[in-house]
Amino acid sequence: MKRAVKIVGSPMDLGADRRGVDMGPSVLRIAGINQRIAQLGYDVEDIGNVHVHIPETRTVIHSNQKYLHEIAEANRELADKVEGILAADALPVVLGGDHSIAIGTLAGVTRHYRKSNEKIGLIWFDAHGDANTPETSPSGNIHGMPYAAILGYGPPELTELSGSVPIMDSSVCVLIGARELDEGDKQVIIDSGLRVFTMRDLDERGMSSVVDEAIRIASRGTAGFAVTFDMDFIDPDIAPGVGTPVPGGGTYRESHLALEKIADTGRMVSFELTEINPIFDTRNRTAELGVQLTLSALGKKIL
């Protein structure tokens, strides 16, 4: 694993109805994410935040794809930042922001590796499918559409961000922890062939077995894999500071185990943490957990 880390924030809340998730990068920094990564032996540089417009200064033009132009603009900047971090032989750690930022992060990762004709896999932790399109979304909120966009479904402003469609190949992508899927999510999942591990799979098989299979899928013919972690993957009794909580999520130890096993592979090429909303949190509890999980993904061990 690279021993240099560059942190970039995307204070994005244009993709969601509930305000507050734009403070995610700030509360993670307040919880000491920079210093604690450095304590693991990494050279850490925080390159700040990409620019994101606030909703009060913008107008919704299309109710089925709210703030599309603004989200695409911020994701283009994020993609450039991530690509630059990888070009500098550092590991991108991206702090969100709602999960629409994954489009920019993964576009940047893909662009970098495409230069050497290499493919990257993806491990995505989430309670939701995030695979709606403007035609199927019940809300028009783009934070419910990024996985679809990455797989080539949705408006070209999003699907074409990496310069090639799809941004990622579904055969090396997985979703772990799904327990609330819209009909639109289900259709894209079926059409794309995306491998989804629901909470029932975790209940029946256990996290260790599921993550082992996810790693195998994301490693097939790839130079490594990206990881994006939506904090609502975790049960809201443990991580209450999220905008769209769903009961019955991952436990504290399941979450750490998953990321510890990912770190053991040495194949993670980027890490992203999203959807922390401190308005619904208690004493920054969810951000503190987010920092701990990031450290596990970067190789922190119990012994």
Digit-coded pLDDT (tens) for 159-170: 999 999 999 999
pTM higher than 0.85: yes
Catalytic residue from among 126, 169, 185, 260:
126
Residue 1 pLDDT: 52
Q: Is 126 a catalytic residue?
A: yes
Residue 302 has pLDDT above 70, yes or no: yes
Determine whether 232 is an active site residue: yes
Average pLDDT value for residue range 253-265: 98
User: Would residue 256 show up in a list of annotated catalytic residues for this protein?
Assistant: no
- pLDDT recorded at residue 3: 87
Among candidate residues 22, 128, 272, 288, the one labeled active-site is 128
Q: Is 73 a catalytic residue?
A: no
Confidence of residue 2 (pLDDT cuts 50, 70, 90): low
Candidate list 70, 275, 281, 288, residue with the active-site label: 275
Residues 284-297, mean pLDDT to the nearest whole number: 98
Q: Which fold has domain 4-297?
A: Arginase; Chain A (3.40.800)
234 has pLDDT over 70: yes
Q: What is the pLDDT of residue 296?
A: 98
- 275: annotated active-site residue: yes
| CB contact at 8 A, 187 and 136 | yes
pLDDT of residue 194: 98
Rounded to whole angstroms, the Cα distance separating 49 from 26 reads: 10
Catalytic entry in 83, 98, 130, 169: 130
Q: Which member of 98, 99, 185, 281 is catalytic?
A: 99
- Label residue 259 by pLDDT band (50, 70, 90): very high
Q: Which helix (H) or strand (E) holds 27?
A: helix 24-30
Total Cβ atoms within 10 A of residue 267:
18
What is the per-residue pLDDT for 230? 98
Q: Establish whether 112 is a catalytic residue.
A: no
pLDDT of amino acid 17: 84
Domain-wise residue ranges, the chain = 4-297
DSSP codes of every residue in 123-146: EEE-SB-----TTT-SS--GGGSH
The reply to whether 130 belongs to the active site is: yes
**Helix residue ranges per DSSP H, 88-220:** 102-114, 146-150, 156-159, 183-192, 199-205, 207-219
pLDDT at 133: 98
Active-site entry in 83, 182, 232, 288: 232
| List 112, 143, 185, 256, catalytic entry | 143
Tell whether the model's pLDDT for residue 39 goes beyond 60: yes
16 pLDDT above the threshold of 80: yes
